[in-house]
Amino acid sequence: MFPLLTTLVFLPTIGALVLMVGPKGASRWIAAIFSGVTFVLSLWLYIGPLVGGSGTAGFGSIMHPAWSESIPWVHFAIGTLQLNIDYHLGADGLSIFMLILNALLSFLAIIGSWHVSNRTREYMALLLILETGVMGVFCAFDLYLFWLFWEVELIPMFLLIAIWGGQRREYAAWKFVIYTIFGSAFMLAGIILLYFSLGAQNGAYSASFSYLASHQVAGTYSIFGISIASQLLLFLLLYLGFAIKLPMIPFHTWLPDAHTEAPTAVSVLLAGVLLKMGAYGLIRICVDFAPQGARDFALPLAVLGAINIIYGAGCSLVQRDMKKLIAYSSVSHMGYVILGVAAAIGPGATNPAFREAALTGAAIQMFSHGAVTGMLFFCVGVLYEKAHLREINAFGGLMARMPRLTWIYTFAIMASLGLPGLSGFVAEYLVYTGSFANFPAQTIIAAVTMILTAGYLLWMLKRAFYGPLNPRWAHLNDANLLEMAPLVMLGVVVLFVGVYPGFLVDLLRPSLHQIIQTMGSLPVAGR
Amino acid sequence: MSGNVFIDNIWVIPALPLLAFILNIFVIRPLDVAIRDRSHGAGHAEHGHAEQHGQDNGHLADNTQHTVPDIDALVEESYVQGIDDIDGHIATPAALARSIRKAEHTSGGAAAVTLMRDAESHPHHAHGEPTIFARVNGYIGILAMLGAFAWSLGVLFAMLGNGALRNGTVVHLYDWVAVAGINYSVNFYVDALTAVMLVVVTTVSALVQIYSQEYIEHEEPAGYSRFFAWLSLFTISMLILVLSANFLMIYIGWELVGLCSFLLIGFLGKDAPKMQAGRPSPGAAAMKAFITTRVGDFGFLIGILILFTVTKTFEFTAIPRLLTGTDQALLTAAMILVFCGAVGKSAQFPLHVWLPDAMEGPTPVSALIHAATMVAAGVYLVARTFVLFHQFAGPQSLEVVAYVGGFTAIFAASIALVQTDIKRVLAYSTVSQLGYMFVGLGVADTIGPGTFHLMTHAFFKALLFLGSGAVLHALGGEQDMRKMGGLASRIPQVAIPFLLATFSISGFPFFAGFFSKDEIIAQTLQHGDYVLYAITLFTAFLTAFYMFRLWFLTFGGEGGRFGGWWGGQYRDTRTISQPGIRLWLPLAILAVPAVFAGFLGWNVVSGGGFNAFISAANVTPAGIVGAAFDNPFTSGATYVGIAAAFLGIGLAWAMYGARIIPANVLTRNPLGRGIYQVLWNKFYVDEVYLAFIRFGIMGLSRIAVGFDRLVIDGILNGVGNGVVAFGRGLRRSESGRMQNYGAAIFGGALVIAAAFFVVVYFNIK
């Protein structure tokens, strides 16, 4: 069988190598072609299982992914301790959906970076390597491999911010790296602990996802004499890394800095797929491998999610810089993912349908936020390229000069504030309806936030685009076709998901259903 | 499936404007823009008056407005003088013009410039004519609306012919999301209530589109296509709202009409605020409308969530079956929360503040969205879920509905008494009349009276707004009634339908508004609620007064015929341009239902009447189906209502028509003057909200950001610096701060993690 996943992961890297040896003038085209081909190939992940005949059930779950490739890699033993690491890639519905999003956004990011003229070749190469790292994260089916890709993604991201960023780029890049490494150190501790605990408990050492998902750690650990449920500790260790990536308050302050300093395309990828790695890890790793721990932590998680939502919105309200405003809005919107997951794993004898609705909403929010925030960053990028400024109050009346940008920006803002018919509404509505049964107070806080969300986004729109034209900007030209292309493509996706979310739900259902079943099999209200 | 072709294919009705919308924005509008670009130079698409620049520096301040915001006291004084001029009868055109000009010159700042520019340039957004493609977009929109109207009539007549159809048919389109036994379905529902709403929405939409051709061609020719696109989008959204079979769909329609309202209020988004007239910029007004209604939507959403969590369904027809045995207090709370949505959308107190500002949209928009259809959506929502209010929730829920409506009715009417902007008077009048509808729903045991007033109001208020638009058109955009007067003899083709509608809203016997309003007042009495009876009766008097004040100030006045009723002195010098047929014909057409629709409700004439028809809708509580109302003229209370209307009309005539009573009779003493100030400033509600936003919400937000920067980043940077200092002290390394910082933290974290692992792992053994 053709190793589609391996191809998807490494094709961008090959592209980066070709770039380095290829003609300098063609680097944009080489990057666009490699990422474009990767995107087209990634669509087969979705179409393949459908034409394979088993219908939407064919996307499979973590136990039986639709796509799987495995090669033994590192195997050795010291005494009773065995280390078994496989090169194991897999993709079920949840992975497929993020892989396609990553391929799409990487492609659009390259299109949207056409104007970059400073060290274009290196820039494009790093974007492609970043794509490889993120692809790997979303389809690694071995926990060590997952961690490896998780770290690989850091390097190009660091360089992209530190070299092509704004004025405070070094500070932002370091902050990003330190935050992430701090989290991944704990994550690594969690991974090692999980691996050896399960191995010791069952006599079989494996870091394969299907093994980890089907065997659960029991008992308690004792740290300095304090006893703690093993699963809860594992959950917390693993989650710390993901919480920083999500980002969850109070580990979010790297995000506004990184977003503000990063070049447009990097902001798009950062918001579009890198934050999703945290959400993906939360669902795929934390919940699947430590379900009881997840349930024990569900209430704090829901509270933190609700705080994320309202706190991020509040911070957005007083931002003066467009990018920073959108960065904080990301904090707020990612809170819906946290709340949705918390509701899905929460305690209480809730109807499983509510759990599944909440988890589906969280997953769609991952996709929707990626596309919508991508659009917003592209819009700001277009404006910044022309005006070299992002200060909201410095604009005014741009509608008169840039009608095209005005309407696509309005579209993106409407999608972001959850207008029905666009993808954000589907996600938020599913989260609201699914989580109210489990966490009514947190859901109400999330719902209040929709007022603030409308407030900060429309206020920004009004200040920058409405009113009489500030004569300072009388020279600006409207967005051209190249600048509009990524915006329109994302807009079509956002609209399509908003009107007919069924196809995403079908893709996700088997994966998420598996989780809901696991949660249903746990003893209810043990604590 | 009902077996009726119109009902089973009900999707045709929203599909027609959808088709027009898609054709407009994806096919024809690009052509329109292309040829406009060629004639104006590239990049100048929809280039309005870009030469303007004002002081709209983006503070929330222009979101809400003061008497005369940001202008010094001197101007305020002279402005108040202007008010006296109108509410006394000292005003001569020259004196008035002088006082206003004085205000402009003394204020000195940007505001005066703005006003002068307003006065000089207002309708001259005009840059030539709409292109041929833009006009085609208009025709397509109108054709689609006429088609939808015909289809709606088909539905209505099917129901008139076959009573069983009135109970309702569910038309399933597709599943939005289906997870584990819960369906989020796209379903339409057609019953008698839907049929009435469909006819109202499509009639008014079609007429407004016809009217808009001429109006927008003068107001903003460059935006001609865009305007029709958004009108079509609005109609689609509104049709989705009235056709919805479940809470999911109604919420979708609900938010989408909000979007269209936002887009259309901000249609002239390049304009600056008109500070002197106390008017915000269109952009600020649009934002305010969206956000204020969202406050109500929040409650609505929570209400839906409660019902959904209890019943696991969104379907209107299924919810009542599944609610039996649920805690009544919970349901009362849920329905009051649902009503919050209605409060926002229908601009009821305390969320009424957006509607007057929404008048910054073009007048056809005010007629369609902010008078006839969208603002009535709240009434429709309560009617649609009436059985839940009436049967399942406690009686408090409908009491809340009735009292919020009653209070808003009198509150808004009192503000309308003193406003001088013609559109704002009508806006407050709309708020007040919507209040009546909620009283009607709250006190009657059926949806009949409330929805009947919804229907008649849609016709006469749309007429009034379109008529005021024709006045604006005639006067080159002037909205200040102090600069009008005597227009009846100058534009009679506008004045005649306008007068008929004024009689209708004032409750003059045998006009449509008389029947529908009288029914509501009679219901309060029958319900035994004397407080609401007094409120609604007194509001009827106020309504008649302020509407005829508007009539006399605009169309009649000193020197007019029949004692000031018709024509008279015109208080400005601007030339009056005559409206074309596309402007006045819709007025004439609307005048028919505005005058005669009332007879539909009178069972003496129409056999059971409107009430019997609409009560067959599935939302009516069991046992009350088909209650008919009596001949109003057999009850003594009706004559009291007529007397109130006559009193109001007579007083307005005495003060503003014949000038028998001086108009400043009340403002001569300090108390009267104080009351006048409070009313003029709309009870200072905007100011209170602004303070809350500034000091409450924005204050908390600033604290949050400060927490981020000082506490979280403070700890982070502190730890980083501490580690670096430690390393420096230890190794005297000068190899660059950043690297140390990173390496130290990374290394530190790894050490912590490793130590953690060792401790934990070897403890389990």
Label residue B631 by pLDDT band (50, 70, 90): low
Residue A225 lies in a domain: no
Which residues, in sequence order, are CB contacts of B512 under 8 Å at separation 6+?
Answer: B456, B459, B460, B504, B593, B594, B595, B596, B597, B598
Whether the predicted pLDDT of A223 surpasses 90 = no
Whether the predicted pLDDT of B95 surpasses 70 = no
Q: What span, in angstroms and rounded, lies between the C-alpha atoms of B515 and B369?
A: 24
Residue B128 is predicted with a pLDDT of 74
Q: What span, in angstroms and rounded, lies between the C-alpha atoms of B731 and B141?
A: 78
Whether the predicted pLDDT of B386 surpasses 50 = yes
| B41 Rama class: left (phi>0) / alpha (psi -120 to 50) / beta | left
Name the residue range of residue A349's domain.
297-521
Residue B99 is predicted with a pLDDT of 41
Residue A455 lies in a domain: yes
Residue B415 is predicted with a pLDDT of 93
Residue B742 is predicted with a pLDDT of 60
CB B177 to CB A450 under 8 A?
no
Token readout for B421 is: 């902007």
Q: What span, in angstroms and rounded, lies between the C-alpha atoms of A94 and A66?
A: 11
Label residue B101 by pLDDT band (50, 70, 90): very low
Radius of gyration (C-alpha) of chain A in whole angstroms: 22
Q: What span, in angstroms and rounded, lies between the C-alpha atoms of B519 and A352?
A: 49
Closest C-alpha to B627, from B616, B638, B619 = B616
Token readout for B411 is: 């509150």
Closest C-alpha to A124, from A5, A35, A7, A11 = A35
**What's the ipTM?**
0.92
Q: What span, in angstroms and rounded, lies between the C-alpha atoms of B83 and B80?
A: 5
Nearest to B294 among A318, A450, A500 (CB): A450
B697 and chain A in contact, CB less than 8 A: yes
A392 and chain B in contact, CB less than 8 A: yes
Residue with the larger pLDDT of the pair A102 and A81:
A102
Residue A64 is predicted with a pLDDT of 87
B737 and chain A in contact, CB less than 8 A: no
A466 and chain B in contact, CB less than 8 A: yes
Whether the predicted pLDDT of B103 surpasses 50 = no
Whether the predicted pLDDT of B109 surpasses 80 = no
Q: What span, in angstroms and rounded, lies between the C-alpha atoms of B24 and B682?
A: 40
CB A265 within 8 A of CB A113: yes
Residue B585 is predicted with a pLDDT of 93
CA atoms within 13 A on the CB side of B749: 23
CB A14 within 8 A of CB A110: no
Residue A284 lies in a domain: no
Average per-residue pLDDT for chain A: 89
Residue B751 is predicted with a pLDDT of 65
Q: What span, in angstroms and rounded, lies between the C-alpha atoms of B245 and B185?
A: 9
**DSSP element (H, E) containing A74:** strand A67-78
Q: What is the DSSP string of A443-504?
A: HHHHHHHHHHHHHHHHHHHHHHHSSSPPGGGTT-----HHHHHHHHHHHHHHHHHHH-THHH
Q: What span, in angstroms and rounded, lies between the C-alpha atoms of B649 and B643?
A: 10
Q: Which of A235, A336, A466 to mutate to test the interface with B (most CBs of B within 10 A)?
A: A466
Ranking A184-193, A473-482, B658-667 by mean pLDDT, the lowest is: B658-667
Q: A 191-250 residues with CB below 8 A of B?
A: 192-193, 196-197, 200, 219, 221-224, 230, 233, 237, 250
Using CA coordinates, name the residue in chain B closest to A415. Answer: B259
**Assessment of whether the complete model's pTM goes beyond 0.90:** no
B255 and chain A in contact, CB less than 8 A: yes
CB A149 within 8 A of CB A140: yes
Ranking A201-205, B54-58, B478-482 by mean pLDDT, the lowest is: B54-58
Whether the predicted pLDDT of B460 surpasses 90 = yes
**Paired residues of B561 in beta bridges:** B566
Label residue B100 by pLDDT band (50, 70, 90): very low
Residue A95 lies in a domain: no
Q: What span, in angstroms and rounded, lies between the C-alpha atoms of B692 and B702?
A: 14
Cβ atoms within 10 Å of A316's Cβ, excluding its own:
28
Q: What span, in angstroms and rounded, lies between the C-alpha atoms of B510 and B597?
A: 10
Which residues from chain B sit within 8 angstroms of residue A357, using beta carbons? 177, 179-180, 182
Whether the predicted pLDDT of A146 surpasses 90 = yes
Q: What span, in angstroms and rounded, lies between the C-alpha atoms of B374 and B208?
A: 14
Q: What span, in angstroms and rounded, lies between the C-alpha atoms of A136 and A143?
A: 11
Q: Which of B177, B234, B251 to mutate to test the interface with A (most CBs of A within 10 A)?
A: B177
Highest mean pLDDT out of A38-42, A165-169, B528-532? A38-42
Whether the predicted pLDDT of A200 surpasses 50 = yes
Which residues from chain A sit within 8 angstroms of residue B738, using beta carbons? 170, 174
Ranking A480-489, B174-183, B409-418 by mean pLDDT, the lowest is: B174-183
Residue A160 is predicted with a pLDDT of 93
Q: What span, in angstroms and rounded, lies between the C-alpha atoms of A424 and A364?
A: 8
pLDDT tens readout for residues B433-457: 999 999 999 998 888 889 999 999 9
A455 and chain B in contact, CB less than 8 A: yes
Residue B36 is predicted with a pLDDT of 80
Q: What span, in angstroms and rounded, lies between the C-alpha atoms of A310 and A301?
A: 14
Q: What span, in angstroms and rounded, lies between the C-alpha atoms of B228 and B235?
A: 11
Q: What span, in angstroms and rounded, lies between the C-alpha atoms of A195 and A83?
A: 9
What's the total number of domains in chain A?
Answer: 1
Residue B52 is predicted with a pLDDT of 39
Q: What span, in angstroms and rounded, lies between the C-alpha atoms of B170 and B191?
A: 9
B73 and chain A in contact, CB less than 8 A: no
pLDDT tens readout for residues B693-735: 888 888 888 888 888 888 888 887 777 777 667 666 655 444 4
Q: What span, in angstroms and rounded, lies between the C-alpha atoms of B489 and A319?
A: 55
Residue B177 is predicted with a pLDDT of 81
Token readout for B69 is: 């915001």
- By CB atoms closer than 10 A (0-12, 13-18, 19+), residue A68 is middle
The alpha carbon dihedral of B102, B107, B108, B113 has a sign of negative
DSSP label of B44 = -
Residue B727 is predicted with a pLDDT of 64
Residue A437 lies in a domain: yes
Residue B30 is predicted with a pLDDT of 87
The alpha carbon dihedral of B568, B570, B575, B579 has a sign of negative
Residue A287 lies in a domain: no
Residue A361 lies in a domain: yes
Q: What span, in angstroms and rounded, lies between the C-alpha atoms of B241 and B251?
A: 8
Highest mean pLDDT out of A208-212, A253-257, B147-151? B147-151
Token readout for B131 is: 């292109």
**DSSP element (H, E) containing A222:** strand A220-223
Mean pLDDT of A71-78: 85
Residue B630 is predicted with a pLDDT of 61
Mean pLDDT of B314-338: 89
Token readout for A379 is: 């819009």
Q: Minimal Cα–Cα distance from A284 to chain B, Å?
A: 20
Mean pLDDT of B247-272: 92
Three-state DSSP state, B278: coil
Residue A374 is predicted with a pLDDT of 93
3-class SS string, A82-106: EEEEEEEEEECHHHHHHHHHHHHHH
Long-range contacts of B105-108 (CB under 8 A, 24+ apart): B106/B74, B106/B75, B106/B78, B107/B71, B107/B72, B107/B74, B107/B75, B107/B276
Token readout for A378 is: 């592209």
Residue B574 is predicted with a pLDDT of 84
Token readout for B713 is: 């980043």
CB B756 to CB A455 under 8 A?
no
Residue with the larger pLDDT of the pair A78 and B676:
B676
Residue B113 is predicted with a pLDDT of 35
**Paired residues of A142 in beta bridges:** A208
CB A325 within 8 A of CB A392: yes
Whether the predicted pLDDT of B276 surpasses 90 = no
CA angle A48, A53, A58 (to 5 degrees): 65
Residue with the larger pLDDT of the pair B272 and B428:
B428
CB B74 within 8 A of CB B107: yes
Distance of CA B321 to the CA centre of its chain: 34
Residue B757 is predicted with a pLDDT of 62
Residue B259 is predicted with a pLDDT of 94
Closest C-alpha to B597, from B451, B734, B732 = B451
Residue B750 is predicted with a pLDDT of 67
Q: What span, in angstroms and rounded, lies between the C-alpha atoms of B688 and B696?
A: 11
Residue B94 is predicted with a pLDDT of 41
Residue A192 lies in a domain: no
CB A89 within 8 A of CB A139: yes
CA atoms within 13 A on the CB side of A163: 17
